[in-house]
Structure 1
Amino acid sequence: MADLADRLGAAVLAHPGVVRLDGGPFGTVATALPGRRVVGVAVGARGVEVAVVLRADRPVPPVVAELRELVRGVAGPVPVDVHVSDVEEP
């Protein structure tokens, strides 16, 4: 799970519409690993949850759809929830 969470975080951060990963309103979107957490990516038995801050100059729905497919490309055919925590000016 550690390798998957790290790979997912790197893939999501590489998307041009993503400013940063985010832990969500209470910091709960994260994968706990020995000695650290991958904030913004939660890998669980029911799928993957990602929380992000997006660039304001890109339309949100298409970016979310792209992120969902990106995550499935790394994690396989799993349910994916993408939460947009905020948008920021570039």
Structure 2
Amino acid sequence: MRGDVASEGRRIADTVSGLPDIEGLSSGSLGTVCTPVPGGRIEGVALRDDSVQVGVVVRLGRPLPEIAADVHDAVLAMVPGRRVHVSIEDVAPDPAGTVTPPVR
């Protein structure tokens, strides 16, 4: 693992959380998308020697592949030389309560 894992993980978490289509980070259904740090863990960012995995909850709106590509590009710029994997763990409900009809 390179450098200060805690600050690198927090920087990535802050950057991803600040993207417009991101509702929040998620450690996934099994809680494995995280980085252990002194005093706890960074949820939604798993730092490894050769890769970074990010789990996100997105806002309903844009196509999911576009959102995933934005997250991928933002993280890749921060971790040159490592692979970046993005998993969309959930889609946040529309705060207005509107329901999108299913596509048929």
Q: Same fold (TM over 0.5)?
A: yes
Structure 1: runs of 5 or more not aligned: none
Whole-angstrom distance in 2 between the partners of 1:8 and 1:35 = 18
**Matched-pair contact (CA < 8 Å) for 1:53–1:87:** yes
**Matched-pair contact (CA < 8 Å) for 2:33–2:46:** yes
Task: State the number of aligned residues.
Answer: 90
Q: Identity of counterpart residues, as a percentage?
A: 34
Q: Deviations over 1:20-66 (max 9, x none)?
A: 00010111100000111000000001210000000111211111011
Higher helix proportion? 1
Does residue 2 of the first structure (1) align with residue 6 of the second (2)? yes
Q: Secondary structure at the match of 2:87?
A: strand
Q: Counterpart in 1 of 2:55?
A: 51
Does residue 70 of the first structure (1) align with residue 74 of the second (2)? yes
* Superposed CA RMSD: 1.0
Structure 2: runs of 5 or more not aligned: 96-104
Larger radius of gyration: 2
- Give 1:78 shift: 1.4
Whole-angstrom distance in 1 between the partners of 2:15 and 2:89 = 18
| TM-score between both structures, scaled by the size of structure 1 | 0.94
Counterpart selection for 2:87 from 76, 79, 83: 83
Counterpart selection for 1:26 from 23, 30, 35: 30
Which one has more relative contact order, counting CA pairs under 8 Å at least 6 apart? 1
Higher strand proportion? 1
**Matched-pair contact (CA < 8 Å) for 1:8–1:75:** no
